[in-house]
Structure 1
Amino acid sequence: MIRRRTPRLPDVRARSLRARVTLLATALVALVSVVLLWLAWRLVSDSVAAVPDLPPGTLVRVDGVEVEASVLAGYLREQARMRMITAGSVAFVLVVAAAGILAWTLTSRVLRPLREITDTARRLSVESLAERIGRVSSRDELAELARTFDAMLDRLQAAFEAQRHFVANASHELRTPLSVIRTELDVTLADESADEAELRRMAGVVREATERAERLVGSLLLLARTDGANLGATEPVDLAVVVDTALGAVRGEVAARELDVDLRTDSAVTDGDPALLERVAGNLLENAVRHNVDRGRITVTTGVTAEPDRRWAVLTVASTGPVLDPETAAGLFEPFRRAGTARTARSGTGLGLSIVRAAVQAHGGSVAAEP
């Protein structure tokens, strides 16, 4: 087994966002500081200019030296401005530097959950979908993002596991008829004394296995087209008419097993795809016939239920047969489940009820089984 280590890439986007936020905060602080410095400059200038001037020629003694008052006043004004500029420049640099350091530090703390989310997303693969972000160090929008990301991972993991299970079951189902075909061919070819009757028997077995594989492939294609599909053009369809059409396809099996069919089909019109809805009724009736007992009973009911928010067209198929426990009944609509037992039946593909569920969900409805 070769393990390839993926190099850790620098979190360029996180650092870029951190740098942009820091630069923006620093620029705003610098702009405000410049405005404050300008206001302070104007305040100092106005205060100095408001000092009354002494009469021209007036001498003022400073440290034993006589200086003309106008010269001294000009010197003091210049010194006040220089000190204000010096102190303001030092304060400007300190404030801007402090703002930059504070913004960089706070941004790092704020973006830490985002880095955790990014690191988790980078580590994820098909083999590590069980990993989650979990609780983050903040309780803001980033925490909500982490919870949403974990919920998305839960759905992805469930979808991948269902896909793996479906592929494994499909492979098993396809392998069975292919193994029968190969075994029959190998046995017949190895028998040098095989006569015409033996060859015809072998051909019959091969044909039956081929038909089973063909039914399975057709069901898989139908399920793939139906599952999660959006309906195109729809038209009004009466479920009572659909049931009559579907029942005609299984009348032979009904008569052969002497089943009693009780139809209670009131008009139940809905908008949908006629072919898919006929497949729904057909699969339900085929399931009720094949998993019934001889001289059993089938009850088919159609009707309309009115609820405060919407109107539902309902199709119910009930039949006698082996009693199922609630847990088994809940799994009947999973692929390759036959009467609650996976991959054991000789007839059927185990996809009939899965196709029913996918078609009903494509119509915005729901389906359930009750023991």
Structure 2
Amino acid sequence: MRRPRPGMPPLTIRARLTLTYAALFTLGGSALVLALTTAFYHFIFQPLPDDQIPSSLDPDHDHFVGLSDQIRDAAASHLLRVALALLVLVVAVSALVGWWVAGRLLRPIADITAAARRASGTTLHERLNLSGPSDELKELGDTFDQMLERLDAAFAAQRRFVANASHELRTPLALTRAAVEVTLAKPEPDQEQWRSMARDVADSTVRAQQLIDALLTLARSEQRLTDPEEDDLADIAAEAMDRVAARCRERRLRVESDLGPAPLHGSVALLGIAVANLLENAVKYGSEGGLLRVTSARSGADRVELTVVNDGPALPADRLDRLFEPFQRGGGRGRAPGPDAPEGAGLGLSIVRAVATAHGGRVTATARPEGGLAVSLLLPAA
């Protein structure tokens, strides 16, 4: 990479374009002037044909020939000076025009630079919306707008996530503090009251730990995969079904499975968490004695799909997108978990979506006409 000399400020791209225009015009103009001058000399000083030379010369012939040579030399020199002066003038004008044209051509880049300098957490909603032909600069502006849109969505999700996490962590801490203060406010608490306080504190601590573990899992799921492995989505689903088998028996669910081969390449640990969350949510929010169906198979040549279906109340279509937002529990789904089910952190499906995105896939939810939900996890096949 060429570096500027010490003491010389680097030239801007507008200045470089202007100098390039001027240099090209100077070279072209110089070649034109030289060509015109050479042609002028060639046609003026070339000898006369033999048939045009007179047979008898006038006594003053030599005098006229010398005078005509002087006139031609003076005319050629004058023509050359005028051509060079015009060349200098045209080069100067072309440099000014090139400076103006370069500024016009680079105006979109200046707009992009100004927008990048203004970009902050409060201005990410602004867009360039460059007009003009679909050229490289228009493509650059559209790409910059898309980047701002992604950043705006990421910042909004981060602000919403931090607010929700703060609220969720405040609840177990408040319960712990209330249990301790109530017990300490009693003049002489007995052993059973101390035990009750200890149980309340332990329950609140477990809830806070579960929330923190879920937040860490979600953060890890949104990062780039570092150690992908070969595995089969059917095997991961089978292991997850073994873990929820006892809960299925408690709720008397009709379990159906059709686990076809679904080879993939990814993080087995994160995929196991995602599939387990899908099944646990299906069991927790499904109807008592209802259906739980789990299927896996290839979806086309380059995709594998895992689908989890359960029974339950009918879900409005406008709530489906909210299912994958952080801290959306039973109320956000239009149904409540079973009476003996522990309340979760509300991050299960958020983790599923983060894991799917990290693997280059996606997760979708569809409301069943007869009630309940069908959630499909689509991932790239191995």
TM range (shorter): 0.7 to 0.9
Give structure 1 stretches of 5+ with no counterpart.
1-11, 61-66
1:199 to partner: Cα distance = 1.1
What residue is the counterpart of 1:48 in the other structure?
44
| Cα deviation, residue 183, structure 1 | 1.8
For 1:161 and 1:337, the matched residues in 2 are separated by 17
- CA deviations on 1:190-238 (whole Å, 9 max, x unpaired) are 3232221111111111111111111111111111111253262312325
State the partner residue of 1:127.
122
After superposition, the C-alpha distances for 1:133-172 in whole angstroms (9 at most, x for unaligned) are 1233565332222222112211111111111111111111
**2:107 corresponds to 1:107:** no
1:353 aligns with 2:354: no
Q: Would you say 1:163 and 2:158 are equivalent positions? A: yes
How far does residue 348 in structure 1 lie from its aligned partner after superposition? 0.5
Q: Which residue of the partner structure matches residue 75 of structure 2?
A: 80
Q: What do the CA deviations read for 1:97-147 (whole angstroms, capped 9, x no partner)?
A: 221122122222222222222222221111111111123356533222222
Q: Residue 221 of structure 2 contacts residue 355 of structure 2 at CA under 8 Å; is this kept in 1?
A: yes
TM-aligned CA deviation for residue 316 of structure 1:
2.5
TM-score normalised over the length of structure 1: 0.83
Are the equivalent residues in 2 in contact too, given 1:300–1:315 (CA < 8 A)? no
* 1:277 to partner: Cα distance: 3.1
8 Å Cα contact 2:169-2:211 kept in structure 1 = yes
Aligned partner of residue 366 in structure 2, secondary structure: coil
CA distance in 1, matches of 2:160, 2:89: 64
1:304 aligns with 2:305: no
Change (3 A) 1:34 1:364: closer
**CA distance in structure 2 between the partners assigned to 1:270 and 1:362 by the alignment:** 17
CA contact (8 A) 2:225 2:358 kept: yes
Determine whether 1:97 maps to 2:92: yes
**1:181–1:206: 8 Å Cα contact kept in structure 2?**
yes
- 3-state SS of paired residue (2:365): coil
2:363 to 346, 350, 367: 367
Aligned to 1:220: 215
1:245-284 alignment to 2 at 5 Å?
245-257=239-251, 259-272=252-265, 273-284=267-278
1:330 aligns with 2:321: yes
| Counterpart code for 1:266 | L
SS in 1 for 2:254: strand
Three-state SS of the structure 2 residue aligned to 1:132 is coil
Counterpart among 24, 28, 31 of residue 28 in structure 1: 24
- Map of 1:37 onto structure 2: 33
The C-alpha deviation readout for 1:21-79, integer Å capped at 9, x for no partner, is: 1111111111122112222222232233226599999436xxxxxx9335423422331
**CA 1:297 to 1:39, structure 2 compared with 1: closer, same or farther past 3 Å?**
same
SS of residue paired to 1:324: coil
Cα distance in 2 for residues equivalent to 1:90 and 1:195: 110
Name the SS for the 1:332 alignment partner.
helix
TM-score by length of 2: 0.81
Q: 1: CA distance between counterparts of 2:268 and 2:96?
A: 68
Q: Is the 8 A contact 2:233 2:306 kept in 1?
A: no
CA separation of 1:51 and 1:129: change in aligned 2, threshold 3 A: same
Q: Kindly indicate whether the alpha-carbon contact (under 8 Å) linking 1:331 and 1:340 is maintained by their aligned counterparts in 2.
A: no
* Residue segments in structure 2 that go unaligned for 5+ positions in a row: 1-8, 368-382
Change (3 A) 1:322 1:25: same
Query: d(CA) in 2 for partners of 1:245 and 1:263?
Result: 15
Query: Which is worse superposed, 165-174 or 356-365?
Result: 356-365
- Structure 1 residue 354: deviation in Å? 1.4
Partner in structure 2 of residue 182 of structure 1? 177
The Cα shift of 1:16 comes to: 1.5
Question: Distance between the aligned counterparts of 2:331 and 2:22, measured in 1?
Answer: 67
State the AA in 1 paired with 2:103: S
Partner of 1:287: 281
CA distance in 2, matches of 1:101, 1:58: 58
Root mean square deviation, CA, Å: 2.8
- Where 1:165 maps in the other structure, the secondary structure is helix
Equivalent pair of 1:113/1:136 in contact (CA under 8 Å):
no
* Alpha carbons 2:261, 2:298 under 8 Å: kept: no
Structure 2 residue 299 is matched with structure 1 residue 319: no
Secondary structure class of the residue paired with 2:122: helix
Q: How far apart, in 2, do the equivalents of 1:245 and 1:137 lie?
A: 56
Cα pair 1:231 1:362 within 8 Å, conserved:
no
1:317 aligns to what SS in structure 2? strand
